[in-house]
A and B are shown apart, each in its own frame.
Chain A
Amino acid sequence: MRLNIINLTKRFGSHVVLNKTSVHIDNVNTLVIIGPSGGGKTTLLRIIAGLESPEGGTIEVNNHPIPTDTEQDIEHSPIMRAYRKKIGVVFQAYNLFPHLTALQNITLPLIKVHQLSEQEANDRATHLLSRFKLGEHAHKKPFKLSGGQKQRIAIARAISLQPEYLLLDEPTSALDPEFTSEVLEMIEELKHQTDIIIVTHHLGFARSSADHMFFVSNQKILENGHPNDIFDRPQSPELKNFFSKVLAH
């Protein structure tokens, strides 16, 4: 994946979340974004996901700029919808549809948005569920599943769309600790299939799995580099401070 961010700015009202931040990376498969809460990392991911429009600046992924639509809002814009079709997003709180079974959660977007036949969608979903050992849960509704199972199904839903890249927003932070590893293992496995951008607090995962990292704080991408550099040679006082707080426990 190639990512080129130029002067990116995002405000919510008078509150500035990202302020003219720029970065350029190339040949990255797994990008991990870390940083303190409220630092702007989730907003950065949501802009890449086409769920927020920036006030200024541009982002290019693989040499294609993320489109903006000045005419219509995010929800109604066909341009933005066409862009979102190409990517997969996983949210912190799983966000499965509670009235549908695990299988239907995966097949509904395939059938309605990606125009697969019911048979094709079912085959693809069933295959994915069994690959991630979720086959026995295919016909259960979300309230019968554990947090870990729900999040794995949400990830399977995102990956079933065969996205150009997969975006994950703190996929383990709503989980009980015993379910964290099953979700992280699944993400680890998907690395070989697609490019991944993930916001996480799991520094262990970041160190072992990332081939590039962003540290986002104070409305900017303050540091970016290989995990070894980020962990062993933090430059800014903000990153040193962040590590001292997070690693103290």
Chain B
Amino acid sequence: MKISRFIKYSPQTKWYHSLTNGLTVLTLFAVLFYISVQSYGQAFRFSILLEYKNLFLEGFSRTILLSIISLCGSIFLGILIALGQLSHIIFFRVFSKIFIEIIRGTPFLVQILVFFYIIANFFQLENRFVGGVVMLSMFSGAYVAEIFRSGIESIGKTQRETAISLAFTPFQTFVYIIFPQLIRQILPPLAGQLVSLVKDSSLLSIISIREFTLAAREVNTSTYSTLESYVPLAIGYLLLTFPISMLTKTLEKKFKYET
């Protein structure tokens, strides 16, 4: 059989095809999951969910808050570092490169521990939530910086030069020519990074920030019901990340054009 038959060439999928196929796949997963749970030898106790509802919701909302603030922080930091990388001043370039390499080259878990027990301690940063936001912003910011840098570089010299030849100022060139094209370039990877950020926030549970993952762990500790603690956790994260993916698809369509 030819591989090419599997590859979709035209994007002419009707919405109801997507819906029915989506439901089929979800049902398939559910059945598989149900069978696995059965062989695990324990019934799923929904009562635990109800009992610890508040703990879950509290953690969930904390995760949302943590993600939103860190998202803003990481975009702000990311732009600064991307500009640093493209700067004429060598110090900024080197600083940005080293920052990115250190953050991307070491595990987030290690960064959390080092930052929290050494750096935050030195600066006497007591508030764990603030510390978590700072760490997550720095971690995600390094990736966002790379996304921005490659986006700016991909727009190419010719577009810039055309704008120069038409006597646009550097500021106008950025606002009217570079930025609109940049948005289209970076939207997909940026959304991917946002999804990662939401998931990465779970690691902050190790320094006892009471977010979603820690809530689930607490439920697990007090009930010994692993399944009932962690399945809602997975679903909760999906509830957060799925709309982001959908939103990106919509925005991508809106900015769509070929070059």
Contact = CB atoms under 8 A, between A and B. Distances in A.
A69 to B, nearest CB: 13
A74 B170 CA distance: 11
B164 A143 contact: no
Interface in A59-117: 74-76, 81-82, 84-85, 89, 91, 93, 95, 97-99, 108-109, 112-113
A113 B167 contact: yes
Contacts of B259: 98, 143
A95 B167 contact: no
Contact of A99 (B167, B170, B184): B184
A20 interface: no
Given A98-B258, A98-B259, A109 B168 contact: yes
Contacts of A112: 168, 172, 176
A141 interface: yes
Interface string B107-147: 00000000000000000000000000000000000000000
Given A95-B159, A95-B162, A76 B170 contact: yes
A239 interface: no
Contacts, number: 60
B192 interface: no
A75 B160 CA distance: 9
A210 interface: no
Interface residues of B, number: 22
A113 B168 contact: yes
Contacts of B161: 51, 91, 95
Given A98-B181, A98-B259, A143-B257, A84 B164 contact: yes
A159 to B, nearest CB: 13
Contacts of B232: none
B3 interface: no
Interface in B175-207: 176-177, 180-181, 184
A81 B158 contact: no
A99 B166 contact: no
Nearest to A85: B167
A99 B181 contact: yes
18 contacts: A51-B165, A75-B164, A75-B170, A81-B167, A82-B167, A84-B165, A89-B166, A91-B162, A91-B165, A98-B257, A98-B258, A98-B259, A109-B166, A109-B168, A112-B176, A113-B167, A143-B258, A161-B166
Given A95-B159, A95-B161, A113-B167, 17 more contacts: A50-B165, A51-B164, A76-B170, A84-B166, A85-B167, A91-B161, A91-B162, A95-B158, A95-B162, A97-B159, A99-B255, A108-B176, A109-B166, A109-B167, A112-B172, A143-B259, A161-B166
Interface of B: 158-162, 164-170, 172, 176-177, 180-181, 184, 255, 257-259
